[in-house]
Amino acid sequence: MTESLRTFMNIFSDGVKQIVIPNIQRDYAQGRNTTEIRRVRERFLDALYKAVTTDASIKLDFVYGSNEDGTLTLLDGQQRLTTLFLLHWYAAKKENIPLAETEFLKKFLYDTRPDSREFCKFLIAAKVSFGEKLSAEIEDNADFPLSWKKDPTVSSMLVILDAIDEKFCDVENLWAKLKDGAISFYFLPIDDMGLTDEIYVTMNSRGKPLTDFEHFKAEFKSRLDEIDGELSDRIILKIDTDWTDLLWDYRDEDNLIDDGFLAYFGFLCDVILYRKDDTPQGKSRDPFDLLKEFFNGDVRENVDFMERSFDCWYELSKREKISAFFADRVSTGSRTNKFINRHECGKIITYFDRADFFGDCVKFSKKLSLGQTVMLYAFQTYLLNVDKISDADFRRRIRIVNNLVENSKGAELSNSENRNNGNRIPAMLEQVDSIIIYGKILERDKIRNKYQDSFNSTQLEEERKKLLWTAENPDKAESLFELEDHYLLYGQIGIIGLGYPEYFERFISLFKCQYDKISCALLIMGDYLQTMDRKVYQLGSPNPKSWQNLFHKSALVRGFEDTKEFLEKLLRSTKNFDNDYLNRIIDEYLAKCERDSEFDWIYYHVSYPSFRAFSIGLKDYGKYCWWDFEHEPYCFAVMSTEKRLSTNSYQPFLKEVEVNDNISREHLGMRLIFGDYYVECENDSYVVKNLETDKEEDRLTITQRKIGDRLIDTEDRIKKFAEWAKGYLY
């Protein structure tokens, strides 16, 4: 198959006796009156107008057809050629071109519907004076049946004829300019193949009627032509051949690849902006606006980047399916379901919806999240440098990038110039280049803009240490990677550290147990809780997010090292964990507290269900509110939300002894109502007050003694209150 440059006039040569739009084709769509189609129509006619009124001729996209016995059956290009047919008809009628010279117009036939076919024949013979609106004059013709107006192709052609008349009415010598080749297109004959539905569907994947993709390509080619005609021809040919083949597996339900191409082109334009320390945020992502950005600056560099970026995926697709390439290197995990994540040697786990980042870009989402953008860029960087990077090295390096992305969220994954953290993506992409190509994590002062932050600083430092550690301990690397893939850690293992690799398996074993038992056993090791402020504290709970909060270090949270210390203490205690082992820790601790008459707040937390919200059927975020943890450890509330007290919060020392739901929600669960009285809890007492006057009526004091810096109960206050309250409050 050999393509050639043709005009609408000279295509009727070399044995082409007629052009037929087959009945398998859709209706002519460029005259539809929708907002999107009007925009497409205006742009296309503007491009044609520019071609016949300036020296800037236009070369339209490829037209494909099967030529059998002189009949050229169009496979792709119907919309463009139909518009050109109407423009030539208009020029011929407007300038009274001799019939002998316009004979070829009769050879353009529509076989989609009978009315469409007859209307085209009617147009050739019709006489028009251009004295009124062109469509009205045509419809007023006695040979124009009213039924034709119901034909979508006919109605669309009438709209286009009015648009052509409005746009080209003042153009002089229009026919001569068309004849001289002001408008041409590339023609690719498909010989000896015959017309089948399969061929049609494949070739027609480029021309979704309700998009402006064809006009995008026309404008793209026009701009390329101004730079380098040979380059332009090569790129457009690839769009219609290699790159269409590349995107075919990701076609939409209409068997079109248009949106996929534009989505990936948008991704590349974003990368070009980031490489200039710019950002797409706040900018239009309309394809034609993207073209303006693309052709701004070093155009040849941008075109080269685009060509290589498409080609690298195309070359991969010739070796294996892209989805299979990703499936061999990425699996999809969960941060909420402990049974989904499964470590596999040589693979990473992503927490995005799909493992195929390329497919996510071209099929499932026109706009990737920033995390997905970085991951797709990392895989593409590998493919662009595949001759320099071994598969084993890439699998190790993409794990680093994945860990950095998964642990850089919120303000860190930002491309906004207006946020405090600024636009971090340019520095992130620079880090990705260094990691994927060279296996090195750049120090901040080595980044091109040394004042620009990239990924989470804690995670960057951890990844540097892990790189050195795995190089020194290659036999233990897979054990580390399995730990990283745990859904509570998703790449950040600082809570365990690298000092005791035997703890890796123990951690995994521990968190196969019931989380409530783990939390209780860990509390017995020590006060492992963390706090974001002076009041709100985080403990573990059956909610995985509580543990994820505890295990991911943040500059905004205090107590991470305490959690690490007491987790290590628990991990030291045995090689293999199960629920029975944790129950023994709990039972021995409770027995010791009762034997020693020492009942600190941990004893109550472990012993009584109300101290753990899920145990009494409430949402449990593992969040607690202490007003003065150091001096009043018995004065706290169990929270039912993540950040603040609410009407569902409660004081657990009161909740455990409530009757008939008599905890006062109005007072955030801090009062227990009994008739005309209520009870509050102080650090060493239960206090009974008058409901109307708030006057103290009675007090139950709890015996305490000082142990270290704290006063500790020497009697179980809950049992004492329950006994004391009999006959007094109940």
Asked if residue 411 has pLDDT above 90, the reply is: no
486: confidence class by pLDDT, cuts 50, 70, 90: very high
pTM, whole model, 2 decimals? 0.77
The CA distances from residue 631 to 45, 683, 684, in Å, are 79, 8, 11
Give the phi and the psi of residue 355 in degrees, each rounded to 5: -85, -20
| Lowest-confidence segment of 197-201, 593-597, 703-707 by average pLDDT | 197-201
Question: Is the model's pLDDT at 452 over the cut of 80?
Answer: no
- Element of type H or E holding 655: helix 652-655
DSSP code per residue over 176-243: HHHHTTSEEEEEEE-TTS---HHHHHHHGGG--TTS-HHHHHHHHHHHHHHH-HHHHHHHHHHHHTHH
Mean pLDDT of the chain: 89
pLDDT at 659 over 60: yes
Q: What is the mean pLDDT of residues 192-209?
A: 44
Q: Given a cut of 50, is residue 196 above it in pLDDT?
A: no
When pLDDT is cut at 50, 70 and 90, the band that residue 729 belongs to is low
Residue 194 confidence (pLDDT) above 60: no
What integer pLDDT is reported at residue 549 of this predicted model?
95
- In angstroms, the CA 108 to CA 119 distance is 12
pLDDT of res. 547: 97
Give the list of residues 6+ apart from residue 611 with CB closer than 8 angstroms, or none: 604, 605, 638, 652, 656
Give the pLDDT band (50/70/90) at residue 608. Answer: very high
- pLDDT at residue 3, rounded to an integer: 59
Return the bridge partners of 58, or none: 183
Antiparallel, parallel or unpaired: β 71-76 and 18-21? parallel
Q: How would residue 674 be classed by pLDDT, with cut points 50, 70 and 90?
A: confident
More confident residue, 286 or 112: 286
State the amino acid at position 19 in one-letter form. I
* Alpha carbon distance 605, 22 (integer Å): 78
User: Between these two residues, 235 and 421, which has the higher pLDDT value?
Assistant: 235
Spatial CB neighbours of 361, under 8 Å, sequence gap ≥ 6:
263, 264, 267, 368, 372, 376
In Å, how far from its chain's centre is CA 576?
Answer: 39
Instruction: Find all residues with CB under 8 Å of 127, minimum gap 6, and list them.
Output: none
Parallel/antiparallel/unpaired status of strands 685-690 and 696-701: antiparallel
The mean pLDDT value for 527-536 works out to 89
For residues 446 and 430, the answer to whether their CB atoms sit within 8 Å is: no
The string of DSSP letters for 358-417 reads HHIIIII-SS--HHHHHHHHHHHHHHHTTTTS-HHHHHHHHHHHHHHHHT--TTSS-B-S
Task: Give the model confidence (pLDDT) of 711-724 as tens digits.
Answer: 999 999 999 998 88
**Amino acid 727: pLDDT:** 67
What CA–CA distance (Å, rounded) separates 244 from 240?
6
How confident is the model at residue 57, as a pLDDT? 85
Helix (H, G, I), strand (E, B) or coil at 688: strand
Of the chain, the percentage scoring pLDDT greater than 70 comes to: 94
**Out of 13-22, 139-148, 589-598, 653-662, least confident range:** 13-22
Percent of the chain scoring above 90 in pLDDT: 64
The residue-averaged pLDDT of 637-643 equals 87
pLDDT at 193: 41
Best CA proximity match to 209, nearest among 365, 7, 44, 20: 44
pLDDT of residue 728: 66
Q: Reply yes or no on whether the pLDDT at 272 is more than 80.
A: yes
Query: Per-residue confidence at 199, pLDDT binned at 50, 70, 90?
Result: very low
Query: For 85-114, what is the mean pLDDT?
Result: 90
CB-based burial, 699-717: b 16+ in 10 Å, e otherwise? ebebebeeeeeebbbeebb
Give tens-digit pLDDT for 532-590.
Answer: 877 999 999 999 999 999 999 988 899 999 999 999 999 999 999 999 999 999 999 99
pLDDT of the residue at 41: 84
**Beta strand 18-21 pairing with 108-110:** parallel
Query: Which residues make Cβ contacts (< 8 Å) with residue 413, sequence separation at least 6?
Result: 370, 371, 374, 405, 424, 425, 428
The CA distance from 170 to 174, in Å, is 9
